[in-house]
């Protein structure tokens, strides 16, 4: 009896987070459109902030891209915080000799959030734009972000759209498909109420709303959520585009996904009021549906597998159990083939799916063990 209950609960959760919630949000959100009156009649001063650790391969192109933005030159500054790099990052930044570029250095590594706290404290301007060293903006990206703030002051954060550049040897097709679905949900959730955080590659924040965060929190996720609790909206601006290269291996993508889940769970644990439906209302429902329950997807799938195996004396559950085992076997073989450097073909997708599930499980385990992720190596 107990395994029947576990099977039903896990199956219901899977159907809810994979089908019902996305369909409901898309149906309601896509039917709702919003128009805004821009907050500033003239382009306001803007500061672009980025944290850099051993980014000698990316930083020059990033700064060139930032300086070339279609925005008044006297109103766009760039603040780079070097987080204890051991390569030529600082030397390359100094080589630009531009009065619009400010370089700050942290003698020891303190992580991205600490670096952005310092950058924001030193920055001037009405809008802060947060970005990454490998994020290349379309020429009008900054202007698109700034023009999306409303005159009423209800919008506190504007998140742009991240696109992944394709590489034949990268984990690109699968990640792009997953990200396309995420983008659709982001647009719908933005129309309904607010986004669940922002994207560290490209998002803007009104300067007066910035609040420093503990360095063990993920700033682009927790920061916008705390503003949402105060009544400010985080909106999606798909016309503000940032381009990044896809992760080139399953191993790199595994580490990135694991870090996101582990830091995300820790951040929500430190601000548990965000998950309280009585305190945070629709925001809490979004967080449970789109983030927490989805991060625990491997747990629900494991319950489904064990439940169907336990009930395998019935033909339906026997077939279901066999199909699940076959899917996992395909994933294992797909990962093994890709690790050997060979083309995986049809097994590429199950390999990618199993990698995501394993990364989520590793992130959950790291969170439960109380491990904090403050610094990490860029996966590029």
Under 8 Å CB-to-CB from 78, ≥6 apart: which residues?
47, 48, 49, 50, 63, 66, 67, 100, 101, 102
pLDDT given at position 373: 78
334-342: average pLDDT: 84
- At residue 260, the 3 state secondary structure works out as helix
Whether 192 contacts 236, CB under 8 Å: no
| Residue 68 vs residue 348, higher pLDDT | 68
- Say whether pLDDT at 160 is over 90: yes
pLDDT given at position 303: 96
Give the bridge partners for 51, in sequence order: 81
Which of 20-29, 86-95, 136-145 is predicted least confidently?
A: 20-29
Q: Residue 173 — very low, low, confident or very high, per pLDDT cuts 50/70/90?
A: low
pLDDT given at position 348: 85
291 half-sphere exposure, CB direction, 13 A CA radius: 26
111-139: average pLDDT: 95
Question: How big is the chain, counted in residues?
Answer: 380
pLDDT given at position 116: 96
Q: Residue 166 — very low, low, confident or very high, per pLDDT cuts 50/70/90?
A: low
| Residue 166 vs residue 289, higher pLDDT | 289
Residue with tokens 């020891």: 108
pLDDT given at position 171: 54
Instruction: Domain ranges for the chain, please list them.
Output: 1-33+250-380, 46-246
Q: How far apart are CA 52 and CA 69, in angstroms?
A: 20
CA dist 75 to 3, 202, 328, Å?
A: 63, 18, 53
pTM, entire model: 0.90
Whether 172 contacts 98, CB under 8 Å: no
114-135: average pLDDT: 95
Q: Residue 377 — very low, low, confident or very high, per pLDDT cuts 50/70/90?
A: low
Helices (H), ranges, the chain: 2-15, 21-30, 59-67, 89-94, 112-122, 141-146, 173-192, 219-229, 250-270, 277-280, 282-286, 293-295, 297-310, 315-339, 348-368
- DSSP code, position 71: S
Q: What is the average pLDDT value for the chain, to the nearest integer?
A: 90
- DSSP code, position 150: B
Under 8 Å CB-to-CB from 209, ≥6 apart: which residues?
156, 157, 227, 232
216-223: average pLDDT: 94
DSSP-derived pairing of the beta strands 233-245 and 136-137: antiparallel
Percent residues over pLDDT 90 in the chain: 72
Q: How far apart are CA 221 and CA 199, in angstroms?
A: 8
- How many beta carbons lie within 10 A of that of residue 77, not counting itself? 21
Percent residues over pLDDT 70 in the chain: 94
| Residue 376 vs residue 101, higher pLDDT | 101
- CATH architecture, domain 46-246: Alpha-Beta Complex (3.90)
Q: Residue 58 — very low, low, confident or very high, per pLDDT cuts 50/70/90?
A: very high
Q: Residue 66 — very low, low, confident or very high, per pLDDT cuts 50/70/90?
A: very high
- Say whether pLDDT at 62 is over 80: yes
pLDDT given at position 347: 86
DSSP-derived pairing of the beta strands 202-206 and 155-165: antiparallel
């Amino acid at each position: 009896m107990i395994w029947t209950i576990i099977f039903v609960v896990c199956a219901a959760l899977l159907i809810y987070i994979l089908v019902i919630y996305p369909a409901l949000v898309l149906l309601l959100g896509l039917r709702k459109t919003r128009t805004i009156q821009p907050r500033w009649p003239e382009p306001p001063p803007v500061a672009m902030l980025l944290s850099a650790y051993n980014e000698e391969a990316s930083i020059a192109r990033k700064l060139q891209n930032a300086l070339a933005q279609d925005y008044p030159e006297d109103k766009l500054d760039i603040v780079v915080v070097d987080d204890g790099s051991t390569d030529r990052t600082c030397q390359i930044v100094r080589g630009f000799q531009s009065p619009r570029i400010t370089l700050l250095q942290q003698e020891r590594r303190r992580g991205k959030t600490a670096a952005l706290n310092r950058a924001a404290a030193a920055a001037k301007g009405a809008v802060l734009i947060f970005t990454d060293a490998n994020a290349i903006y379309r020429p009008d990206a900054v202007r698109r972000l700034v023009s999306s703030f409303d005159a009423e002051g209800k919008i506190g954060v504007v998140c742009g759209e991240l696109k992944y550049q394709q590489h034949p040897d990268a984990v690109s097709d699968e990640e792009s498909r997953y990200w396309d679905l995420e983008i659709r949900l982001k647009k719908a959730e933005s129309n309904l109420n607010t986004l669940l955080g922002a994207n560290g590659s490209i998002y803007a924040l009104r300067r007066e709303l910035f609040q420093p965060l503990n360095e063990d929190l993920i700033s682009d996720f927790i920061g916008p959520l705390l503003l949402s609790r105060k009544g400010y909206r985080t909106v999606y601006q798909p016309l503000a585009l940032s381009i990044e290269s896809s992760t080139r291996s399953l191993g790199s993508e595994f580490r990135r996904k694991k870090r996101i889940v582990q830091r995300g769970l820790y951040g929500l644990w430190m601000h548990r009021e965000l998950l309280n439906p009585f305190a945070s209302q629709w925001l809490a429902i979004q967080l449970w549906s789109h983030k927490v329950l989805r991060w625990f997807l491997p747990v629900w799938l494991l319950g489904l597998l064990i439940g169907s195996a336990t009930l395998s004396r019935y033909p339906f559950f026997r077939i279901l159990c066999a199909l699940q085992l076959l899917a996992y076997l395909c994933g294992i073989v797909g990962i093994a083939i890709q690790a050997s450097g060979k083309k995986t073909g049809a097994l590429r997708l199950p390999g990618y799916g199993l990698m995501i599930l394993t990364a989520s499980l590793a992130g959950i385990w790291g969170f439960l063990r109380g491990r904090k992720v403050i610094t990490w190596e860029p996966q590029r």
